Amino acid sequence: MKIENMSFINDLGKIIFFLFLLLSAFLITAKSERKLPNYLFAAFLLVSVIDLSGFFLTPPDNKIIKGFKLASVLLQMPLYYLYVNAACYYNFTFRKKHLLHALPFLFFLIWFGITGISEQNNNVFDIVSTVQYYFYIVAVFFELRTFRKLYQENYSSNHHLTYKWLLQTTILFLIGNTFVLIREFLKDNETAFLYLYTLNSIFVLFVISWFVLNALYRPNLLAGINKDLVPVQQAEESLKEEPEQLKSLLNFMKTENPYLDDKLTLQKLAELIGMQEKQLSVLINKHTGKHFFDFINEFRINKAKNLLKDHPQLTVLEVLYEVGFNSKSSFYTAFKKETGVTPTDYRKSVV
């Protein structure tokens, strides 16, 4: 039974190994306006391949090669962290300072090359790699939180899909690492260890397959926002907006319908009404209690409600494009958030 399990794990390892290589090749060669996110995730996958080769390959009895294979684990999370930054921000660039993320890898590579991999060295490495992993996981969550705040305050398009996808991917990575930690605690129980190893292998296969499907079916997922934006501090009392400004803004929204532009941003709206971006953002936040993203969507949803009610010949898809949305999922999410029902159910209730 154990031999069969090991054979199954080896076969899964080969599938995952070649799937990672295939996806890496796809990311590197795919035609895309933004190459850096693809390159960084391809690098992450290729480094992961080195670790995954342990599923079915026994490394040569050479301390440098063994040290490189083990130390390469310390490159995975830095590459993923850089990938998240590149995916979130269209003007993120790779700079020399980012090479500092590779210092732990270089340290252990040199250390293993000099001293070899002893049990003591391996224990130290396990502690460092675990601490590093969770450090970067926390850093990614903080980065995503900032990204979410920025796109809500400055953009009306569906960047929340990028946020949701990166958040889900990060959570899946966290779950996968939890399996690894539990597996290490059970390594003295050979049967439980093998079953958990198999479960972990299947989980990795599921995650990478899920990623491939998203990459293929959502080619514009990583549009990115401006990384130079800074979150607005709601308590900024230096900007004293008068209610008259809010009236002017609302009147402009109702008469000029700028929200019908699916690429409307805070910067673009501020320019249209002749107001500073930060002043406009604080005006919206302070007097409506909404982020720019929700503020714009409220007008879109109200327009959509009228179209659904008065123009039954229009399909839901036609309505969502008419009012400024460019994604069915984002329209349904925003509509249900605003009304409590789906567009289809709303139409049934009013027609």
Low-confidence ranges of the chain (pLDDT < 50): 1-3, 234-239, 241
Give the per-residue pLDDT at 4.
53
Report DSSP state, residue 265: B
Angle value at C-alpha 125, between 121 and 127, nearest 5 degrees: 120
Axis crossing angle, helix 103-115 with helix 63-71, rounded to the nearest 10: 160
> In the chain, what are the helix, strand and coil shares in percent, each to the nearest 5?
75, 0, 25
Q: What does the pLDDT look like over 200-220, one tens digit per residue?
A: 777 777 777 777 666 656 655
Share of the chain above pLDDT 70, in %: 81
List C-alpha distances in Å: 85 to 63, 71, 147, 293, 338.
34, 23, 9, 21, 30
- Nearest to residue 77, comparing CAs of 174, 152, 194, 168? 174
Give the per-residue pLDDT at 115.
84
Report DSSP state, residue 58: P
Asked if residue 165 lies in contact with residue 141, where contact means CB atoms within 8 angstroms, the answer is: no
Residue 220's SS3 state is: coil
Please tell me the distance from the alpha carbon of residue 117 to that of residue 63, in angstroms, as a whole number: 7
List C-alpha distances in Å: 126 to 63, 105, 168, 211.
17, 13, 26, 28
Asked if residue 93 lies in contact with residue 37, where contact means CB atoms within 8 angstroms, the answer is: no
Longest dimension (CA), the chain: 77
What number of H helices and E strands is found in the chain?
15, 0
Please tell me the distance from the alpha carbon of residue 17 to that of residue 49, in angstroms, as a whole number: 6
At residue 42, φ and ψ (nearest 5 deg) are -60, -40
Taken in order 117, 123, 129, 132, the sign of the CA dihedral is negative
Asked if residue 303 lies in contact with residue 296, where contact means CB atoms within 8 angstroms, the answer is: no
Please tell me the distance from the alpha carbon of residue 109 to that of residue 94, in angstroms, as a whole number: 23
Please tell me the distance from the alpha carbon of residue 272 to that of residue 279, in angstroms, as a whole number: 14
